[in-house]
């Protein structure tokens, strides 16, 4: 028997008035896979989530979730998916416990019945179970929303930017929770604008302007960067950025934390030539070294290419 993908989308198009929100997007997510959709605001992430969760209709293309068609069998899909929208959408005037009970009841179940699944997460917010959802902090709202999306034991989870605006420590915690859900066989489709979260996914799609720039494992995406990436540092980082961009052989140059990442045009110069050029402009403590690209480098390279073409 061929295993059916948990989510399958085939050339999805969607237009809002003048804006082509999705421009032919295809993907397949397997059981127990964490699939990340990574890209900036306005790239089309939420539109794709809304189509797959049967909230809006695509203009063109076919999609299935657990084998059910998103148009004809939308009712069956709503039974078996969990969805956490980008904007907090629980009932602000209900307490933590009331919200959770509400979602359980809507899906004809109880908190007790599926407690195992949410236990790890729920114990963290249980001390506040009589607090109104509107009065929770950002991190706690996020955990409650995840519990509510899980309470009916979905087989596919759609998380639309669950970590946006959340600090790095809470983000790491949240990804730990996803890892544990994955082990239970739940397929997870998650979107994020944070490129550093890419490495936590099994596979990712980089999205911009309604199109996937690339879909693959994070490791393969990084491996296929396509050119050598160099890291350059000096004692004057702000000036270094300008001086590097003025250097004839430099193709791209971006600030990356405490270093600048550069790529060269067709023929890379000798490292020594670059070194001498920068020294002649007064740079000291120079550090020039080829390094491995990260997903953010890849995103910029791929999106730069589509802009030019």
Partner 1 sequence: MSKRDPILMPDNTVILAKDLTKMYGDFTAVDHISFEIKKGEIFGFLGANGAGKTTAMRMLCGLSKSTSGQAWVAGYDINRQSEYIKRRIGYMSQKFALYEDLEVWENIRMYAGIYGVPDREIAPRTDELLHRLGFESEKKTLVKSLPLGWKQKLSFSVAIFHNPSIVFLDEPTGGVDPATRRQFWELIYQAADRGITVFVTTHYMDEAEYCDRVSIMVDGRIDALDSPGNLKKAFNAKNMDEVFHQLARGARRKA
Segment lying near partner 1 (by CB under 8 A), choices 70-78, 90-98, 103-111, 300-308: 300-308
Nearer to partner 1, 42 or 134 (CB): 42
Q: By CB under 8 A, name the one of 5, 39, 82, 218 that touches partner 1.
A: 39
Output the CA torsion sign for 118, 120, 123, 124: negative
Give dist(CA 181, CA 179) in Å, integer. 6
Cβ burial, residue 145 (10 Å; 0-12/13-18/19+): buried
Position among 1, 112, 248, 258 found at the interface with partner 1 (CB under 8 A) = 258
DSSP type of residue 102: H
Is residue 120 a contact residue for partner 1 (CB under 8 A)?
A: no
Residue 137 or 220 with smaller CB distance to partner 1 = 137
Q: Can residue 112 be called a binding residue for partner 1 (CB under 8 A)?
A: no
- Subset of residues 268 to 297 that bind partner 1, contact rule: CB under 8 A: 296
Phi, psi of 64 (to 5 degrees): -130, 150
Report if residue 111 touches partner 1, rule: CB under 8 A: no
**Tokens describing residue 237:** 């980082």
Q: Which stretch binds partner 1 (CB under 8 A): 7-15, 105-113, 219-227, 255-263?
A: 255-263
| Closer CB to partner 1, 119 or 172, in the complex | 172
Q: How is 135-159 classified by DSSP, letter by letter?
A: GS-HHHHHHHHHHHHHTT--SEEEE
* Gap between the Cα atoms of 188 and 175, Å rounded: 11
Per-residue x/- mask for partner 1, residues 137 to 176, rule CB under 8 A? xxxx-----------------------xxxxxxxxx----
User: Cα separations (Å) of 227 from 220, 237, 262, 291, 293?
Assistant: 14, 23, 10, 11, 9
User: In the bound complex, what is the minimum distance in angstroms from residue 208's beta carbon to partner 1?
Assistant: 7
Chain residues in the site for partner 1 (CB under 8 A): 39-43, 124, 137-140, 164-172, 193-196, 208, 238, 241, 254-258, 296, 299-300, 303-304
């Amino acid at each position: 028997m061929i295993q059916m993908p948990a989510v399958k989308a085939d050339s999805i198009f969607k237009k809002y008035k003048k804006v082509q929100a999705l421009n032919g997007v295809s993907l397949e997510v397997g059981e127990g896979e964490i699939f990340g959709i990574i890209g900036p605001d306005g790239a089309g992430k939420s539109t794709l989530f809304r189509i797959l969760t049967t909230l809006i209709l695509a203009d063109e293309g076919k999609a299935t979730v657990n084998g059910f068609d998103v148009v004809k069998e939308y009712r069956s899909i709503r039974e078996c998916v969990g969805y956490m929208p980008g904007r907090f959408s629980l009932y602000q005037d209900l307490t933590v416990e009331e919200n959770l009970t509400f979602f359980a009841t809507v899906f004809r179940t109880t908190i007790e019945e599926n407690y195992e699944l949410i236990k790890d997460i729920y114990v963290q917010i249980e001390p506040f179970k009589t607090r109104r959802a509107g009065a929770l902090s950002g991190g706690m709202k996020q955990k409650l929303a995840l519990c509510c999306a899980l309470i009916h034991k979905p087989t596919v989870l759609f998380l639309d930017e669950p970590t946006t605006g959340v600090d790095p420590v809470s983000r790491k915690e949240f990804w730990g929770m996803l890892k544990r859900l994955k082990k239970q066989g739940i397929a997870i489709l998650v979107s994020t604008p944070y490129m550093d979260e890419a490495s936590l996914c099994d596979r990712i799609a980089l999205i911009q302007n309604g199109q996937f720039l690339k879909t693959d494992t994070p490791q393969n995406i990084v491996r296929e960067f396509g050119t050598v990436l160099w890291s350059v540092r000096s004692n004057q980082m702000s000036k270094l950025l300008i001086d590097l961009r003025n250097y004839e052989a430099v193709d791209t140059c971006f600030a990356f934390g405490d270093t600048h990442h550069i790529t060269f045009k067709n023929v890379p110069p000798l490292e020594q030539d670059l070194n001498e050029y920068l020294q002649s402009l007064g740079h000291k403590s120079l550090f020039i070294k080829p390094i491995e690209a990260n997903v953010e480098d890849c995103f910029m390279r791929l999106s730069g290419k589509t802009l030019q073409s």
